[in-house]
Every structure is written in C-alpha cells, then in structure tokens.
Structure 1
Amino acid sequence: MTKTHSPTMSYDPRQLSDEELAQRAHDELFHITRAYEELMRRYQRTLFNVCSRYLGNERDADDVCQEVMLKVLYGLKNFEGKSKFKTWLYSITYNECITQYRKERRKRRLLDALSLDPLEEASEETSPKVEEKTGLEHWLVHVNQIDREILVLRFVAELEFQEIADIMHMGLSATKMRYKRALDKLREKFSGTIET
C-alpha cells in the first residue's frame, strides 16, 4: 500500500471499494475505526457461514469469527495490498478454522461433516447421517476434507479459483481439478442436481 489519506478527511465508507477501505483502515487505525467497521459489516455474514460450514456448529463458528475480526483489526496495519482484501480475509479465516479443528480434536473426537480423520469419515457408524443435513452440508458429507474446503470457499465465500489456490497453497490447475472431481462425485451421487 502506498497511497495515504488524511484521517480527518470526511468520506462515506459505503461508497468505497474493499481495497480503498483497507487503505483507509491501514492509515486510520486505531484512532478511527470507520473503514474497518464497514469492511467487517460487508463480510460478517459470509464469514460466519464459511466458519459454520467448516466447523459444523454455530458456537465454534462464532468464536472463530471473533478471532478473525481481531486478527484483521490488528493485521490491517501490515496489510500491503499485494492480494485482494477478500482473499487476505478468507486466508485468515481458513487458517483460524484449521486451528480450531485441531483444538477441538485434542479435546474430543469430532463426528461431523468436516472431521479431520479420514478413517472416521469412511466409517458408516460414525459418519454424519445424510438425512440430518440439508443443502450444502448434505453434499459435503460425501467428499474429503480438502475438497470440502474448496467447495466451501467457492460456493459460500464465492471466491475465484486463483484466490482459493492462494489460500490453500495449491496450484491453480490442482485446485480446479479437485473442484471438478468433487463436483463429478457429487453429481453421480445426486443425479446432476448441482450447478457449477
């Protein structure tokens, strides 16, 4: 980030792009939080939806969202704008969700659609029952963890493939291939009811 703005200049945060708001927040924090608050307002709902799809419950999703918002608040001072704000935000979210998985796994075995243990997922006794899930959760039960994460970032966060590849530290072609294979698998199971 190179341009700076005077914190005293009046502006309507709703009229600015994410990148302009990120620049404002970079310059203004921690004295003025208007730009930061607008960024969080724009993404709060999707952030929560992404976290709850990853974690399988609203309590953990809420905790992770709070942690993400704090990391964004303190991280904006160092955000250089090398990637889009949205990509940076979901990269933080993805990492926080992974951290939360690991914490929860140490405390107890997770028996939800995003279990980290592939053997557990393969077991019919411990795998979540399809009837208990609706919408995206209904589909996610049938693909592995990495493919689930790609689908969540694509369908819930509505990210581009390059953004997903960057967040997951994968090549673009590998990301697209995994996405296509996951959809093919789901199409087989659900008779082509999923749209790309």
Structure 2
Amino acid sequence: MRDEEQEELARKAAGGDRGALEKLLAAIQPSVLRRCARFLPCYQDAEEACQDVLMQVARNIGGFEGRSKFSTWLHVIIANGSRQTYRTLKRRAAEQGYAEMPIDVADARTTSVIAGSRLDLLDALEKLETSKADLVAPMVLRDICQLDYREIAVHLGIPEGTVKSRIHQARGQVREYLLAGM
C-alpha cells in the first residue's frame, strides 16, 4: 500500500470510519511486526508487542490529528509499545526469579549478540528515562525508528535544533551506560 493511501485511510479512520480502520490495521500489521522486531530480541515478543500496538492504534486513532504524518504517529506508538512490552517481560522474569530476562534464541552463534545488544540498549533507555525522560523519545525516533529530524520536531512540538541537541545528549548518556555495563 502506498503512503498516500495509508494516510487517507488513517484520516478516514480518525473520523470514525470502521471499514477504513480495519483496512488500515491489516495494511500496517506486517510493517508493525518488523519494527517491533527491531526493538525486541525474540520474535514471539515482537508478535506480542505488535498486537499491543495494533490495539493502541485502534483505540487511539480518533486522537490522530494529522499534524504529522500517520507513519510518524505510528512510529511513536511502536516505540512506546515495544518498550512497554520489554518492561512487562522484564517484570515477569523478575517475578519468576530470574536475575536476567531469559532469551530463547534459535541460533546462539548469530542471534545472541544481537539480542543481548538490544536488551542492553533497552535497559540503557529505561535507565535514561528515569533520569532524563525528555531525551529518550528523540533518540528512539531517530536511531531506532529512523525518522528525520524535521519529523521528530513536528511530532514532539519542539524546534529541530532542540531535537538534535537532545539526541546528542541521549546518545552520550546511553554510551556511558553501555560502556559501564550498567
């Protein structure tokens, strides 16, 4: 589906068109799953996050005002949903007595480094969020969701220079957390 068609479906769905919402959800599901998988180390976790994101889109589409592109709005929901799924999984692991989140990885020779790096990054983002929450969203939107600075500025309602500054600060903090091993 072309971006223009997706934007039109989003506008109709935001206006209350249930048919447009169903078409939109079906169209974005594969992309949402791929993007959730960028955050989370296990495919099953990405699937769980994807379902949560689709539910959030369905519940909150009425709040989509069209100030930014639908894809930008969706990226924010994906980032927040994936990070929330990670927090939930981490909490469940702690409740079950694990010191760290267990990871089921198909091929440990190739995937474990990637999965471990993602978990380290998510932990660093969580730590950053507790100390400097305003730095997390710009970095996630730029480095993980791969939005351009202008899109991030429009979505967050802050100047582009502030976006760049916050991303720079966030990267420095995350780098420190990762190098220190948290």
State the TM-score bracket (shorter-chain normalisation).
Answer: 0.5 to 0.7
Q: Which residue is 2:69 aligned to?
A: 84
RMSD: 4.3
The answer to whether structure 1 residue 48 and structure 2 residue 27 are counterparts is no
Which of residues 34, 44, 59 in structure 2 aligns to 1:59?
44
TM alignment of 1:25-40, pairs within 5 A: 25-30=13-18, 32-33=19-20, 36-38=22-24, 40=26
Distance 1:180 1:38, change over 3 A: same
* Secondary structure of 1:82 counterpart: coil
Structure 2: 5+ residue stretches without partners = 95-99, 129-134, 176-182
Amino acid at match of 1:177: H
| C-alpha distance after superposition, 1:119-148 (max 9, x if no partner) | xxxxxxxxx9987335xx586577543699
| Residues 42-62 of structure 1, C-alpha deviations (whole Å, 9 max, x = no match) | x43332233223221111211
User: What is the TM-score when the length of structure 2 is the normalising length?
Assistant: 0.59
Structure 1 partner of 2:113: 133
Considering Cα pairs closer than 8 Å and 6+ residues apart, tell me whether 1 or 2 has the greater RCO: 2
Give structure 1 stretches of 5+ with no counterpart.
1-12, 114-127, 186-196
> How far did residue 85 of structure 1 move?
1.0
Distance 2:149 2:167 in 1: 7
- How far off its partner does 1:111 sit? 3.8
Residues 1:97 and 1:138: Cα distance change in structure 2 (over 3 Å): closer
Q: 1:15 and 1:52 mapped to 2: Cα distance?
A: 21
What secondary structure is seen at the aligned counterpart in 1 of 2:53? helix
Identity in percent:
25
